[in-house]
């Protein structure tokens, strides 16, 4: 497996399991504009701050793991994979511990209002918490998979890049607004992932997305306002899940019944635990509606193959590895698939990859080469040719016409 594929796989696993973001930056000095789009807002808050971060990255050395802290005390890890090629990995943001809010509110030394402190508390709550031992194990596993030979890395801790002053600086004035807008952007991106996951019938990814959007908290059943707020969110996501299933042509009568049933359950309950558990049932029911409709009439082997393909579009796929997975010969799988789906396995894989790429082209600002990697095609030229063959226009033209 190439380094690109390995890192993309690690990136996907960290995002799904720990909500930890990984940024892989190749040829840093020639891709600053692209880098700025994908970095967390805290690292691009103003030009001087961004420049100081970039200068720090450029001066990092191979065989070292650098731990840094941003201006609101969130942690990042920087690893230089190749000094000559300017290739880097950035992990974060995350919290090493649940930081005490005293650092912001003690004697009001940072001149923050109570509302601003609440925003910071919310921001911290959304970040993954990883202690040094867990982060060390993550890094060891990650580097072991990236490098073929064993490498010893030195861990270097740095102070935060831009220490806050007691007075309220211009830099700090924009922090709260950025944190608020960042939270909204993150929710929008997660909602989009949820929408796609249900359309693919991917229960695991859909559950992970809703867990981010509706995290488990402790709400007392006597707290009517918070219970009502949570119920309103459930009603909203019930509608989103229904719409996603509708777009895959799942039976409308069944979806309307499912929607009404969920709505009645939401409105009739005032128990938070019961409402929280309802989230899982909603995901399972809507994803099953999509899966059962899309795969109705197919044999068990073809159904399993299609499910595996749709859940692994970003990975290497072939008739051989799919047939191995289900203990049948490649020839038998290919013949049965062609008979039932009226398409070869490879044609179906390519069609699904291009289909998924259209969503990303329309609804994200990701570079085309990165979208190509996400859908499992490493060769950008091949991706462009395949896209044009399927859609009668290039990826750039498609994006221009649909945004």
Which pLDDT does position 169 carry in this prediction? 42
Same domain as 194, residue 72: no
How would you write 49-106 as a 3-class SS string? HHHHHHHHHHCCCCCEEEEEECCCCCEEEEEEEECCCCEEEEEEEEECCCCCCHHHHH
Same domain as 268, residue 308: no
Which pLDDT does position 108 carry in this prediction? 46
Same domain as 254, residue 290: yes
Instruction: Flag whether 17 is in a domain.
Output: yes
Instruction: Flag whether 65 is in a domain.
Output: yes
Same domain as 383, residue 256: no
Which pLDDT does position 172 carry in this prediction? 45
Euclidean distance between CA atoms 375 and 384, whole angstroms: 12
Instruction: Flag whether 179 is in a domain.
Output: no
Q: How many domains does the chain have?
A: 3
Contact by Cβ (8 Å): 309, 348: yes
How far, CA to CA in Å, does 202 sit from each of 199, 291, 308? 8, 9, 10
Looking at 294, 327, 357, the residue that finishes a domain is 294
Instruction: Flag whether 224 is in a domain.
Output: yes
Which pLDDT does position 348 carry in this prediction? 92
pLDDT in tens, the chain (403 residues): 567 778 877 887 787 677 788 888 887 777 776 666 666 666 666 677 777 788 888 888 888 888 888 767 788 889 888 888 788 888 888 887 655 444 554 444 456 666 666 667 777 777 788 877 788 888 888 888 887 666 677 888 776 555 433 334 444 445 555 555 555 556 666 787 788 888 878 887 788 788 878 876 666 666 677 788 888 889 989 988 998 888 877 778 888 889 999 999 999 988 888 888 888 889 988 988 888 777 777 888 988 888 788 778 888 899 999 999 899 999 999 999 999 889 999 999 999 899 888 878 876 777 888 888 888 898 889 999 999 999 999 999 998 887 6
Looking at 294, 329, 359, the residue that finishes a domain is 294
pTM of the entire structure? 0.49
Same domain as 130, residue 192: no
Instruction: Flag whether 180 is in a domain.
Output: no
Instruction: Flag whether 398 is in a domain.
Output: yes
Residue 337's domain is classified under what CATH number? 1.10.10.60
Kindly state the DSSP code that residue 164 receives in the 8-state scheme.
P
Euclidean distance between CA atoms 39 and 196, whole angstroms: 23
Instruction: Flag whether 389 is in a domain.
Output: yes
Same domain as 318, residue 237: no
How far, CA to CA in Å, does 196 sit from each of 209, 326, 375? 10, 26, 13
Q: Tell me the residue range of the domain where 98 lies.
A: 3-173
Same domain as 64, residue 161: yes
Which pLDDT does position 317 carry in this prediction? 92
Instruction: Flag whether 258 is in a domain.
Output: yes
Looking at 270, 294, 318, the residue that finishes a domain is 294
Euclidean distance between CA atoms 323 and 310, whole angstroms: 15
Same domain as 203, residue 314: no
Euclidean distance between CA atoms 231 and 237, whole angstroms: 10
Which pLDDT does position 382 carry in this prediction? 92
Sign, Cα dihedral of 69, 74, 80, 84: negative
Which pLDDT does position 23 carry in this prediction? 85
Same domain as 266, residue 316: no
Same domain as 218, residue 115: no
Same domain as 267, residue 353: no
Which pLDDT does position 328 carry in this prediction? 92
The number of helix segments (H) and strand segments (E) in the chain equals: 19, 5
Which pLDDT does position 100 carry in this prediction? 45
Same domain as 352, residue 286: no
Which pLDDT does position 166 carry in this prediction? 35
């Amino acid at each position: 497996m190439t380094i690109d594929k390995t890192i993309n796989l690690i990136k996907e696993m960290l995002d799904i399991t720990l909500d930890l973001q990984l940024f892989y930056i190749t040829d840093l000095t020639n891709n600053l504009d692209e880098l700025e789009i994908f970095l967390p807002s805290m690292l691009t808050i103003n030009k001087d701050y961004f420049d100081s971060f970039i200068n720090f990255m450029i001066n990092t050395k191979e065989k070292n793991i650098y731990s840094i802290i941003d201006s609101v005390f969130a942690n990042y890890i920087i690893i230089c994979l190749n000094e000559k090629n300017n290739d880097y990995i950035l992990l974060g943001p995350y919290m090493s511990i649940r930081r005490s809010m005293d650092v912001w509110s003690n004697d009001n030394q940072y001149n923050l209002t109570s509302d601003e402190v609440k925003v910071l508390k919310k921001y911290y709550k959304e970040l993954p918490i990883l202690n040094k031992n867990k982060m060390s194990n993550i890094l060891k596993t990650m580097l072991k998979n990236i490098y073929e030979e064993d490498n010893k890395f030195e861990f270097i801790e740095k102070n935060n890049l831009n220490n806050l002053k007691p007075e309220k600086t211009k830099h700090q004035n924009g922090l709260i607004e950025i944190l608020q807008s960042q939270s909204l952007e993150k929710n929008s991106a997660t909602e989009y992932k949820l929408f796609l996951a249900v359309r693919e019938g991917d229960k695991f990814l859909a559950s992970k997305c809703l867990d981010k959007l509706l995290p488990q908290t402790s709400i007392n059943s006597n707290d009517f306002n918070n219970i009502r707020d949570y119920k309103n969110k459930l009603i909203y996501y019930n509608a989103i899940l229904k719409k996603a299933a509708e777009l895959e042509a799942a039976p409308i009568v069944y979806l309307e019944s499912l929607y009404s049933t969920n709505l009645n359950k939401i409105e009739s309950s005032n128990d938070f635990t019961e409402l929280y558990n309802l989230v899982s049932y909603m995901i399972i029911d809507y994803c099953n509606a999509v899966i059962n409709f899309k795969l109705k009439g197919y044999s068990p082997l073809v159904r399993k193959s299609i499910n595996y393909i749709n859940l692994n579009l970003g990975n290497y796929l072939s008739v051989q590895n799919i047939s191995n997975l289900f203990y049948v010969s490649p020839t038998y799988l290919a013949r049965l698939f062609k008979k039932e789906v009226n398409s070869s396995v490879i044609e179906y894989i390519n069609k699904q990859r291009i289909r998924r790429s259209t969503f990303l082209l329309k609804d994200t600002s990701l570079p085309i080469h990165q979208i190509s990697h996400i859908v499992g095609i490493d060769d950008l030229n091949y991706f462009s040719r395949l896209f044009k063959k399927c859609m009668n226009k290039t990826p750039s033209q498609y994006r221009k016409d649909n945004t």
